[in-house]
Amino acid sequence: MAIKAPKGTKDTMPKDSFKVQYIEREFAELCRRYGFGEVRTPMFESTELFNRGVGETTDIVQKEMYTFEDLGHRSITLKPEGTSPAVRAFIESRDYAEMQPTKYYYNTPCFRYERPQAGRLREFHQFGVESFGTPDMMADAEVIALASDFLTKVGIEDIELRINSVGCRECRPVYRKALQDYLQPYYGELSETSKTRFESNPMRIIDSKDPHDQEIAQAAPDMLDYLCDDCRAAFKELKSNLDAMGIRYTIDHGIVRGLDYYTKTAFEFVTTGIGAQDTVCGGGRYDHLVEEIGGPSIPGVGFGLGKERLIILMEQKESLIEDNNAPDIAVSFIGDKARLYALGLVHELRQQGVAAIIDTLNRNLKGQMKYANKLKAGYSVVIGDDEIEHGVVTLKDMKSGEQKQINSKDITKEITK
């Protein structure tokens, strides 16, 4: 029996990898414009990092993490999200001692043991940004603007930004009590998952996926009505900043985010285009996460965005992505003497920066041309005895069919035009 990829994982083949390369390039370039530098963290971390950072009451920590004991009897976890490792790196590198803000972006694989579905795998890939060192809502608006610009850049224009405030350590306990008081009469009707959250994390009941839980939560108290003066002022400032940047948004009282570390700002970019999961990008502020992981008291804000879900959405929107893997030119030949000449020509073209291919199966000319078409070569030339003798080749545009005779030494110049 053939060995298959583990459940919840997916190979990215050449016919699709150019799409991944495209969005990686666009994201990196946009982050550069916004002043974010790339951070690369290990694929696995100490389990304690996620217990402290993500929160022991979250589904991720309780049900979804790939955790194992290594040969040194240390508890190790494949990272389920990108923020906590970035925060750990921020602390360990002592970047907090430098002039702030510190701004990172990352592009990383993540791992969660959950039921595979459209756009959600057990091994998935995540973009993200983290901005440390400022409590000002300008930073929140900046990361939201970066996410908005990126989604627009890759062709996702009909998408909605939803924002909310999840309060802080001062006002959230007051809201938590009001929420529990509201939910108490319905406790027996809640799903088993929501019952376990009633004491430990009742805000998560608001974004339960269970239909009956959602029905109960519709009339639940609104966090915005319980904000302290500082959180209320911050949310007002965030809205003003987004208005100043011309970024449209909807206030969504149901956004609480799935991780314990969020404070104040919580936001999501939402679409209904990919089936069961409608959140394409999500993030928010985390003013105490650096401190909780062992660093100084420094605020932060960021977002995460899944590549797989984004590509599905781009395909549905028919976003045009140029296949940069397609060769610039296919060099075909007739006869052994021409084969050697063609090999030398291909080698020279590659050294000059041209993506050139040659058939290595020694097929006849028809087979060579079929191969060039399959790989979507932009141009083709055929080398025969006459071409070798006169140093002149016929360059064919494979899209338009246009042909012209040129000196073989001018191929690079013609293609780069």
* Interatomic CA distance for residues 187 and 216, integer angstroms: 10
Residue 38, annotated as binding a ligand: no
Residue 262, annotated as binding a ligand: yes
Number of C-beta neighbours around residue 251 at 10 A: 13
* Interatomic CA distance for residues 32 and 98, integer angstroms: 19
Residue 83, annotated as binding a ligand: yes
Tokens representing 328? 């610039």
Residue 130, annotated as binding a ligand: yes
Residue 286, annotated as binding a ligand: no
Residue 339, annotated as binding a ligand: no
Pairing of strands 279-285, 123-132: unpaired
* Interatomic CA distance for residues 200 and 184, integer angstroms: 14
Residue 385, helix vs strand vs coil: helix
Residue 82, annotated as binding a ligand: yes
Cα atoms in the 13 Å half-sphere on the side-chain side of 48: 5
For residue 392, list its beta bridge partners. Answer: 407
Residue 257, annotated as binding a ligand: yes
Tokens representing 179? 């929420």
Find how far residue 345's CA is from the centre of its chain. Answer: 40
* Interatomic CA distance for residues 26 and 199, integer angstroms: 43
Scan for tokens 């959250």, then name that residue.
197
Closest CA to 282 of 312, 256, 250: 256
Residue 268, annotated as binding a ligand: no
* Interatomic CA distance for residues 51 and 62, integer angstroms: 9
Closest CA to 322 of 271, 378, 274, 371: 378
* Interatomic CA distance for residues 297 and 398, integer angstroms: 60
Tokens representing 294? 């062992």
Residue 88, helix vs strand vs coil: helix
ω into residue 101 within 30 of 0, thus cis? Answer: yes
Q: How far is CA 309 from CA 273, 278, 304, 306, 367, in A?
A: 10, 9, 12, 6, 38
Find how far residue 135's CA is from the centre of its chain. Answer: 25
By the 8 A CB rule, do 395 and 379 touch? yes
Binding site feature residues for L-histidine? 81-83, 112, 126, 130, 257, 261-262
Binding site feature residues? 81-83, 112, 126, 130, 257, 261-262
